[in-house]
Amino acid sequence: MKLLPYLPLMILLFVPGTVHAAMEAEHLETHAEFVARKGYPESMEQWSDRHLLKAVDARVLHVVIYLGSQRGRLYANEQVVMDFPVCTGDRDHPTPAGTFTVLEKDKDHYSDLYGLAMPCFMRLTRDGIGLHAGPVFRTPQSHGCIRMTRESCVSLFNRIRLGTPVRIVAECVMKH
């Protein structure tokens, strides 16, 4: 009879995955833990602070693309909100380094030059460089644009606005 009050807990202990799942739900991985993982930055995984993403004001957001590591980050002021893999320009079609702003957002962009759909296109230059969803190979293979996974691109597209600063930097040393 003394075990009766503990019966629900005992049942949970014997149901595979329930206690672990409950404990995991309480712990959200920090960005520092994500970048400390083996294989980062080569990973194809995206990290985001879901709570901050929901609450952040778009006016404080900016994007940094790291050409050397083929990663991008969305920041709210100086706090990392998202960290995602990218595919930038190859040697013959390099992605330009510098500071840009989002000039145009086109959810259903189509490139006449390349004959390709470029979903969630965010234009950075008048001559066609932008961020968009596309194949991400973790090495520079685009014609100058910054390609992102569909998941990362849609999330970014839905949060940033026209005028959002985007900095593209060559160094692969990233501020954690």
For every residue of 130-154, DSSP letters joined together read: EEEE----SSS-BSSSEEE-HHHHH
Provide the angle, in degrees to the nearest 10, between the axes of the packed helices 18-26 and 7-14. Answer: 100
Per residue in 99-136, pLDDT tens?
999 999 999 999 888 888 999 999 999 999 999 999 99
Q: In the structure, what pLDDT confidence band is assigned to residue 6 with cuts at 50, 70 and 90?
A: very low
Instruction: Supply the DSSP symbol for 28.
Output: P
How many whole angstroms separate alpha carbon 8 and alpha carbon 5? 7
Radius of gyration from C-alpha coordinates of the chain: 20
Question: Where do the domains of the chain lie?
Answer: 31-169
| Residues 46-56: tens digit of each pLDDT | 999 999 999 99
Assigned CATH for 31-169 = 2.40.440.10
Give exposure, 153-163, as e/b (b: 16+ Cβ within 10 Å). Answer: bebbbebbeee
At a CB cut-off of 8 Å and minimum separation 6, what does 3 contact? 10
Cα gap 147→88, rounded to integer Å: 6
Q: Is this prediction's pTM over 0.85?
A: no
Distances in whole angstroms, Cα of residue 169 to Cα of each of 12, 15, 98, 158: 50, 49, 7, 23
Q: Distances from the Cα of 86 to the Cαs of 19, 25, 29, 144, in angstroms?
A: 36, 28, 21, 12
HSE of 83 in the Cβ direction (CA atoms, 13 Å)?
Answer: 22
Tokens 């014609």 locate to 143
Query: Residues with catalytic annotation?
Result: 132, 145
Q: Which band of pLDDT confidence, cut at 50, 70 and 90, is reported for residue 28?
A: confident
